[in-house]
A = this chain, B = another copy of it.
C-alpha cells in the first residue's frame, strides 16, 4: 500500500496527550499497515520539562515552546490537548493560520469560541476536528456531522458527563446519599477534588453547546445553556423515581421546537424502559431523534485517557487523509438561530413537597397548581417526620407556569419544604 507520512505536533501531554503519544509510539506500525498513514510524532509541547512523562516518549521530542510547535512549518497536523481557553485558542489559531489542520478535545474552548475557530478553519481551508470534545471515545461528532448531515434532527438527549452519571447510578444502586456517592466518586478518581464543573453541569453545558453546533449548526455558546446541577437530588427522589417507573439521569437536551433551538442541562426523570435509563456507572450515551432515521443511541466511555486518545487518533487519520487529497472535511458553519428559553418548555414534572400533615393542605396545594393550569397525573402521599411528603407527577405543563407554582408553594403556610422539581424526559 502507498504510505503517506504525516508529521504530528502535540500540544499538551497530560491524560489524553500522554495516552495519544503512547498509541502513536507503540502502535504506529500497526496503524500504518492498516491505514497507509505513518503518523510521526515530531514534537510534544509540555508546560514543564521536569514533570515525569511516559518513558516511551523520547526526551528530544519535548519542548516547552508550544507556540513554536503550533507555527512550525515542518509539521503537518497539530493536536491540542492542553484544555481551557488560553493559550489553547491562540495556539489553534496559529496552527490553522500556518496551514495546518488541528485536532482538539477542548469542549470548553469550542463552546466559547466555536464561531471564531470554525471561521478560521474555513478561511484556512483546513480541518478543525473535535470528536473527543464530546463523549470522549464515542464516535458522535463525525456521525452527526457526516452520516446525519442531511437528517432533520429533532432532538439530542445526552448523558455526557460520566461523573454525575456515576454518582446518580451509585445512589440508585446502593441507596447512597448524594454526599456519599460524590465522596466515593472522588476516592475512585471519577470526580475531581473540586467537583463543581461536573456536578453543577458546566462540563455538560459546554458539550451541549458543541452538540448544538454539529446537530443544528446553531451558534450557541456555553453561557446560553440553561443549566442545573444534580446537588438537589436526594435519596428519596431516587426511591420515588424507581417506584414511579423512572430513573434519574443527568441529561443534556438539545432540541429544535418550531424553528428555535433549546439547549439545557439538568437531571431528568427518564422512563425505565428508555435506552438511556440503562446507561449506568460512568458510561456516556447520546440518544438522537431524527425525522427519517428515527431513534439512534451511541454508547461508550466518555472519558479516560485511552478512550479519548482513540477519538483523537480517528480525527488525526481523517485530517491526514484530507490533507493528502488536498482539502478539508466539512467545517460546521454556525448560524444565528432563534433560541428557545427554558421558560417556554412544555414538560411533565416530578415535584415533591414536605407539608404539615393536616386537613386542607392538599386542597391548598392543588389550588396553586390549578391556578397555573398545571394538571396532576399522579400524587402519592408518604408519611414524613411530623408531616407528609407529597410526590406529584404532572401532565405536560409550561415551565414558566411550573416556576410560578413553586414561588407560590414556597409561600404556603403548610408547605415546609419544596423539594426537587425534576423534568420528565423521553416519555
Contact = CB atoms under 8 A, between A and B. Distances in A.
Interface of A: 1, 19, 23, 27, 30-31, 34-36, 39, 131, 137-139, 142-143, 146-152, 217, 275, 278, 290-301, 304, 306-307, 309-311, 313-314, 316-318, 321-322, 325-330, 333
Given A310-B290, A314-B150, A327 B330 contact: no
A325 B149 CA distance: 17
Given A275-B278, A292-B310, A311-B293, A34 B150 contact: yes
Contacts of A30: 152
B292 A307 contact: yes
Given A149-B317, A217-B34, A299-B299, A294 B311 contact: no
For the complex of A and B, list the 7 residue pairs with the smallest distance between their C-beta atoms, beginning with the closest.
A325-B327, A139-B147, A139-B143, A293-B310, A296-B300, A292-B310, A147-B314
Contacts of A292: 19, 23, 137, 306-307, 309-310, 313
A274 to B, nearest CB: 10
Nearest to A28: B150
Contact of A293 (B148, B149, B301): B301
Contacts of A152: 27, 30
Contacts of A217: 34
B299 A294 contact: no
Given A307-B292, A325-B326, A150 B35 contact: yes
Contacts of A34: 149-150, 217
Contacts of A313: 150-151, 292
12 contacts: A137-B292, A138-B296, A142-B147, A146-B318, A150-B310, A151-B310, A151-B313, A292-B307, A293-B300, A293-B306, A293-B311, A295-B301
A290 to B, nearest CB: 7
A137 to B, nearest CB: 4
In the complex, the count of this chain's copies comes to: 2
A72 B393 CA distance: 61
Contacts of A278: 275, 278
A137 B297 contact: no
Nearest to A305: B292
A150 B23 contact: yes
Given A139-B148, A142-B147, A299-B299, 19 more contacts: A23-B150, A31-B150, A35-B149, A137-B293, A139-B147, A146-B314, A146-B317, A148-B310, A148-B314, A150-B310, A150-B314, A151-B310, A275-B278, A278-B278, A292-B309, A293-B300, A293-B311, A297-B298, A325-B325
A330 B307 CA distance: 23
B311 A150 contact: no
B35 A296 contact: no
A149 B327 contact: no
Contacts of A290: 310
A160 to B, nearest CB: 15
A287 to B, nearest CB: 9
Contacts of A139: 139, 143, 147-148, 296
A8 to B, nearest CB: 12
Given A139-B143, A146-B314, A275-B278, A300 B294 contact: yes
Contact of A151 (B151, B291, B296, B314): B314
A36 B149 CA distance: 11
Nearest to A149: B317
A311 to B, nearest CB: 7
A292 B137 CA distance: 9
Nearest to A314: B147
A393 B380 CA distance: 45
A404 B139 CA distance: 43
Contacts of A275: 278, 299
Nearest to A216: B34
